């Protein structure tokens, strides 16, 4: 297509699904901080005054208080007002956590050679990179994340932004011509706020203050913004809606610009290729673009549980490079077995809480972005 519009969305750390993701990743990091070989698959549900932790955890870590970890994660997000139904000290936390299945553990871990560690599950994972931005990420998603991250940063400042609350969403539509982004067609921002805050003031804040700062040269004219289009948004977060781990996988990845294998990231240790191979796919796709083999690249891996070697590899350059040359480069350069992925990206560390919000890709400080 020579001309099209691509829309991507982002949600803030206070969105109910992201609250659940952050709690799950906080549990994971607490386990890995003591025992890097921890096997963790932690799911979280949040609604009103209830938090449910469920899943499989096998770890040598001692003294972990999952309820305390959940409360601290909620407090860090900003849900710490006693007047709210959902608040860090007032929620009831239910734990339904068992050890990892012995059958899965045996197929994944009990290998004669560490390099032959099997994949933690079957599945397919995609990685993607594009040279349309310095971050090698799709522009609509980058701009959406900048808006929600800007809302969170402003909320934490004293003074003028005291009306902001943690729950928020953004959506950016970008027009492309000949494969390149040329203009923003529409921006949608919905932010939770204090009761009774004037809607005109919120609109003015977003259009005249926030957007110019975070969107820079891409900031469009005022008439292209929709700000809190439903009206008042005082009642939000888990007090209003349920949140579950893993429901924002497109927000977490490429905003609809690339395919997704369906597996969520948060709450899973790197033996789960849903997470680690998706990170590695991003790393590999970036290297293909950086090497000048393509302007856009999508990589697909697939795995079988307990088997180290991927069951398939697909490299697509969308006509911007030679698919076979790019695939040969990937096969020759990268160890795609789970142990190789973990070693290359140094994944047995408590680094996952920093990935939860505003995209798992395209941000500095993450090993797959190095």
Domain that residue 350 falls in: 123-133+244-369
Give the C-alpha distances (Å, rounded to integers) separating 104 from 40, 79, 302. Answer: 12, 37, 18
Domain-embedded: residue 312: yes
Backbone angles phi, psi at 142, to 5 degrees: -55, -45
The predicted pLDDT at position 100 comes to 82
pLDDT score of 104 more than 90: no
Which of 99, 115, 149 is the endpoint of a domain?
Answer: 99
pLDDT tens by residue, 13-47: 999 999 999 999 999 999 999 999 999 999 999 99
The predicted pLDDT at position 158 comes to 80
- How far is residue 253's CA from residue 276's CA, in Å, rounded to a whole number? 13
Of 308, 268, 264, which Cα lies nearest the Cα of 39?
A: 268
In total, how many domains does the chain have?
Answer: 3
The predicted pLDDT at position 188 comes to 98
Domain-embedded: residue 365: yes
pLDDT tens by residue, 296-333: 999 999 999 999 999 999 999 999 999 999 999 999 99
Pair (127, 260) in one structural domain: yes
Location of structure tokens 């549980």: 305
Which residues are designated catalytic? Answer: 15, 17-18, 43, 56, 169, 233, 241-242, 247-248, 268, 272, 274
pLDDT score of 110 more than 60: no
Q: Give the pTM.
A: 0.96
Lowest average pLDDT, out of 2-6, 51-55, 103-107, goes to 103-107
pLDDT score of 111 more than 60: no
Give me the mean pLDDT over the 180-195 stretch: 97
Domain-embedded: residue 107: no
Residues 6 or more apart whose CB falls under 8 angstroms from that of 27 comprise 40, 42, 53, 57, 66, 69, 70, 267
pLDDT tens by residue, 114-158: 778 889 889 999 999 999 999 999 999 999 999 999 999 999 998
Domain-embedded: residue 276: yes
Pair (361, 263) in one structural domain: yes
The predicted pLDDT at position 109 comes to 65
Which of 217, 239, 261 is the endpoint of a domain?
Answer: 239
Conformation bin of residue 179: beta by default, left when phi > 0, alpha when psi is -120 to 50: left
Domain-embedded: residue 127: yes
Pair (253, 362) in one structural domain: yes
Instruction: Categorize the per-residue pLDDT at 107 as very low, low, confident or very high, splitting at 50, 70 and 90.
Output: low
């Amino acid at each position: 297509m020579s001309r099209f519009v691509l829309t991507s969305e982002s949600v803030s750390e206070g969105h109910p699904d992201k609250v659940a993701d952050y709690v799950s990743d906080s549990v994971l990091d607490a386990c890995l901080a003591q025992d890097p070989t921890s096997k963790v698959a932690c799911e979280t549900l949040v609604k009103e005054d209830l938090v449910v932790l469920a899943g499989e955890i096998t770890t040598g870590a001692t003294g972990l208080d999952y309820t305390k970890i959940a409360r601290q994660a909620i407090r860090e997000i900003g849900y710490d007002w006693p007047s709210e139904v959902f608040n860090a000290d007032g929620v009831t936390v239910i734990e339904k956590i068992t050890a990892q299945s012995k059958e899965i553990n045996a197929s994944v871990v009990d290998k004669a050679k560490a390099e032959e560690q099997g994949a933690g599950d079957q599945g397919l994972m995609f990685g993607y990179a594009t040279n349309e931005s310095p971050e090698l990420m799709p522009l609509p998603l980058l701009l959406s994340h900048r808006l929600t991250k800007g809302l969170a940063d402003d909320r934490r400042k004293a003074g003028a932004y005291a009306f902001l609350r943690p729950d928020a969403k953004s959506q950016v539509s970008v027009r492309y011509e000949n494969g390149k982004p040329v203009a923003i067609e529409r921006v949608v921002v919905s932010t939770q706020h204090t009761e009774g805050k004037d809607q005109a003031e919120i609109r003015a804040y977003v259009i005249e203050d926030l957007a110019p700062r975070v969107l820079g040269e891409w900031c469009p004219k005022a008439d292209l913004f929709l700000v809190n289009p439903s009206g008042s948004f005082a009642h939000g977060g888990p007090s209003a809606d349920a949140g579950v781990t893993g429901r924002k996988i497109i927000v977490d990845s490429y905003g609809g610009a690339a395919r997704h294998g369906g597996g969520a990231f948060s709450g899973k240790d790197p033996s789960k290729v849903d997470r680690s191979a998706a990170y590695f796919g991003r790393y590999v796709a970036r290297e293909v673009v950086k090497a000048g083999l393509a302007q856009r690249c999508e990589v697909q891996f697939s795995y079988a549980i307990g088997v180290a070697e991927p069951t398939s590899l697909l490299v697509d350059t969308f006509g911007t490079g030679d698919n076979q040359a790019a695939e040969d480069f990937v096969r020759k350069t990268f160890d795609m077995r789970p142990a190789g992925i973990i070693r290359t990206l140094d994944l047995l560390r408590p680094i996952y809480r920093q990935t939860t919000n505003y995209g798992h890709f395209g941000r500095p400080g993450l090993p797959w972005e190095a």
